[in-house]
């Protein structure tokens, strides 16, 4: 505890603030990204859809696989895919080699969201790096990576993001 006196002697923030801050950070990034996306012609992308699209991936995937990647039931994944299909972000085609499977694939519009999301997130991260310093952002990421159990990287919670 190399604590300097003169202001720094104050007690650290209460422990309960940390999760709050982490969540608020997450939340504000997501919110800003979707504000950007809305301006770029993707007003109907809900935050959860973005991650679902990511789970589809460039090579496509089945609903069951998407559910596994997202950590939700295949039924839930199926419903999400249905919505995504209705919005024109994915298409479903029968797998000619396996009569059970229906491959979900990104449409051009779906790829566009993904590309714009990636750009948006990069832009947001760059803004943080500009405000805080690139090293601080990198440190934050490193520290979080260190403290977060590997399996917690999953996006398995259901409906956190609701704008």
Site residues, DNA (CB under 7 A): 46, 48, 62-65, 67, 72-76, 78-80, 83, 92, 97-103, 158-159, 162
Q: Which does 44 bind (CB under 5 to 8 A by kind): its own copies, DNA, none?
A: none
Nearest to 156 by CA among 34, 46, 69, 88: 69
Q: What is the pattern of x (binds its own copies, CB under 8 A) and - over residues 98-137?
A: ----------------xx-xxxxxxxxxx-xx-xx-xxxx
Task: Quote the tokens at residue 108.
Answer: 């051009």
Q: DSSP of 83-116, one letter per residue?
A: HHHHTTSEEEEE-TT-TT-EEEEE-HHHHHHHHH
| Least distance (Å) between residue 88 CB and its own copies | 19
Nearer to its own copies, 98 or 118 (CB): 118
Instruction: Say if residues 77 and 67 touch (Cβ distance below 8 Å).
Output: yes
Instruction: Say if residues 49 and 85 touch (Cβ distance below 8 Å).
Output: no
Q: Where on the chain is the footprint of its own copies (CB under 8 A)?
A: 1-3, 5, 8-9, 12-31, 33, 54, 114-115, 117-126, 128-129, 131-132, 134-141, 143-149, 152-155, 157-162
């Amino acid at each position: 505890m190399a604590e300097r006196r003169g202001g720094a002697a104050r007690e650290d923030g209460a422990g309960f603030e940390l999760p709050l801050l982490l969540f608020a950070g997450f939340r504000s990034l997501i919110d800003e990204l979707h504000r950007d996306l809305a301006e770029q012609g993707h007003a109907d992308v809900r935050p959860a859809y973005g991650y679902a699209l990511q789970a589809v991936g460039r090579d496509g995937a089945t609903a069951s696989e998407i559910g596994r990647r997202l950590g939700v039931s295949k039924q839930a994944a199926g419903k999400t895919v249905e919505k995504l299909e209705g919005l024109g972000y994915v298409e479903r085609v029968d797998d000619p080699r396996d009569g059970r499977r229906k491959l979900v694939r990104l449409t051009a519009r779906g790829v566009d969201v993904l590309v714009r999301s990636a750009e948006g997130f990069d832009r947001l991260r760059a803004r943080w790096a500009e405000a805080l310093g690139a090293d601080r952002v990198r440190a934050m990421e490193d520290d979080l990576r260190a403290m977060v159990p590997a399996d917690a990287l999953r996006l398995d919670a259901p409906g956190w993001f609701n704008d």
